[in-house]
Chain A
């Protein structure tokens, strides 16, 4: 029996080969290695989130109160922000799914060389600073932006089109940022799909369209669902793009939080809004985790 054979044996065999006094297998003690990360996040992530939760329920003179929650539920202006956020997130999710699925499908079915090129076309913008990309949209879509100058100069339109600082601008920018979060999970599922299944459907007489709709599409649904959950979750909490490309009427929950805290210095209410945003994100995540598992969601995510 050579060395490689020995270590593949169950633990109790190779354990006797360890030096004396060190018989306890390494893999049974993850505690120390994970301790640093747990302490760090405990102090700088869990603790602050708990403090923030406390702020949401703190009365003016200390004590416990539901005043902030009541305020959130009763005032129409806040409902508008929630509706705007929901609408933006749902439109972003649908558009990403509609234009992301074909691209993911092409990437999964084309040659490796073409796939690498398409992948670069997705990953380079994905990792480029969101600020640089927002600036690009301002330059392109503004009233005196490049697109409008071209359109007016060519006589296609008589006056510049309102493409920016409204909900259209927000949608264009959001889809640009979040599209890779839709494409990558769908692509991952399609790549693992057994190619003999659609081939079998075809050989049994199904048209390409029929084989796609009845075989490929249902099998890729977990990827599509993961993409939708990710995009929706990230869109709901997104701050940068709506703040830079939106107008006065496109106040999302995230911008509302910023306004309440920065301009009004109303920390308890800002904390309550944050809590409701977290509940929304957590609810969507739980929904996704229930159907497709939490691992698929967290591993598909690169950054926010």
Chain B
């Protein structure tokens, strides 16, 4: 009798927890769904539900040279940033995971600290440097700037994977006569391939979505997609923005799916 009453109380608490959590999830998801639905609207007003459905704003995007150019610049930039961040970050993550030296923790903190520096401060600092080097408004400048943000992401993800991976396998390869480089390339790297995929996907998104550095360092010469969106949101509120946002959500989903592929394989590999 007493127990039954207590269980009902627990069940009610559980139900309340679920209802509350679902409301929070709705708060997180709803704005994104709204933008997607509104993007298929035929009018210039943001109506929900749309009175007439159409792909009008997607057509506007395709026709506009500005949007197309911004999209391609962002895409190439993000791909280059991913490559550079992996090239620098993977060996660094490996070294931090596999070695013990005094000051290792401090060095690790310095290497990942760009993640906690406010973007606006980093933008200012890089502006001063890039102005001297003539890199303002040049895609090359943005490549370097975005890599500062993307490399720590790679170091954190890949470093954690190297820590989980079995170091004995590498030592076995070395004991069997493989050179350092060969052991790293043929044994260590393949053992963390899923993490490499995740790190690459997140490095890509870090650059592709980055606004503040692009605003400050892009100038008129290098307008990335987020910079173009920022200007449109701030000054005109173009209905085509909902279409471009929907495309961004789609791209995020693809990148997350790729990253998740990596994560799923990691957990399956664990004994």
Which residues of chain A have a CB within 8 Å of any CB of chain B?
A: 3-4, 6-8, 14, 17-19, 22, 26-31, 33-34, 36-38, 40-41, 44-49, 51-52, 55, 99-100, 102-103, 105-106, 118, 121-125, 127-140, 145-146, 176, 179, 207-208, 233-234, 236-240, 244, 254, 257-258, 261, 267, 270-271, 274, 277-278, 281, 285, 294, 297-299, 301-304
Q: Is the CB of B34 within 8 A of A278?
A: no
Nearest to B104 among chain A residues (CB) is A30
Cβ of B175 within 8 Å of any chain A Cβ, yes or no, is yes
* B175→A36 contact, CB < 8 A: no
A44 and B241 form a contact (CB under 8 A): no
Given the interface pairs A132-B248, A145-B46, the reply to whether A127 lies near B32 with Cβ below 8 Å is no
Nearest CB on B from A217, distance (A): 14
Q: Of A45, A125, A208, which one neighbours B10 at CB under 8 angstroms?
A: A208
Output the least CB separation between B55 and chain A (Å).
18
Q: Is B261 on the interface with A (CB-CB < 8 A)?
A: no
List of A residues within 8 angstroms of B212 by Cβ? 239-240
Is the CB–CB distance between A135 and B109 below 8 Å?
no
Decide if B197 is an interface residue (CB 8 Å cutoff).
no
Contact indicator B32/A125 (Cβ below 8 Å): yes
Tell me the count of chain B residues lying within 8 A, CB to CB, of chain A.
Answer: 98
* Cβ contacts under 8 Å, B115 to chain A: 298, 301, 303-304
B94, closest chain A residue (CB): A33
B residues 14-63 near A (Cβ < 8 Å) are 17-18, 20-21, 24-25, 27-32, 34-35, 38, 46-48
Q: Knowing A30-B101, A55-B128, A121-B28 touch, does A237 contact B180 (C-beta < 8 A)?
A: no
Report the Cα distance A135→B46, complex, angstroms.
11
Contact B209 A130 (CB under 8 A): yes
| Bound: A244/B177 CA distance, A | 59
Interface centre among A44, A234, A254, by most chain B C-beta atoms within 10 angstroms, is A44
Q: Which residue of B lies closest to A234 (CB)?
A: B116
Contacting residue for A106 out of B21, B101, B114, B174, CB 8 A: B21
5 contacts between A and B (CB under 8 A): A6-B172, A34-B95, A135-B35, A281-B118, A304-B115
Interface presence of B155 (CB below 8 A): yes
Among the listed stretches B65-73, B75-83, B142-150, which one makes contact with chain A, having 4 or more residues with CB under 8 Å of it? B142-150
Looking at the complex, which one of B46, B96, B129, B170 makes contact with A30 (CB distance below 8 Å)? Answer: B96
Assembly CA distance A134 to B242 (angstroms): 11
How far is A301 from B18 in the complex, measured between Cα atoms in Å? 26
Contact of B155 among A37, A106, A302 (CB under 8 A): A37
B4 part of interface (Cβ distance < 8 Å): no
- Taking CB atoms, residues of chain A closer than 8 Å to B253 are 124
A7-B172 contact given A45-B148, A124-B256, A140-B31, CB 8 Å threshold? yes
Q: What residues of chain A lie closer than 8 Å to B165, measured between beta carbons?
A: none
Q: Which 10 A-B pairs have the closest CB atoms?
A: A237-B118, A136-B31, A30-B95, A37-B92, A48-B125, A30-B99, A132-B245, A33-B91, A121-B25, A7-B171
Tell whether, in the assembled complex, residue B248 and residue A129 are in contact, meaning their CB atoms are under 8 Å apart: yes
Closest to A150 in B: B48
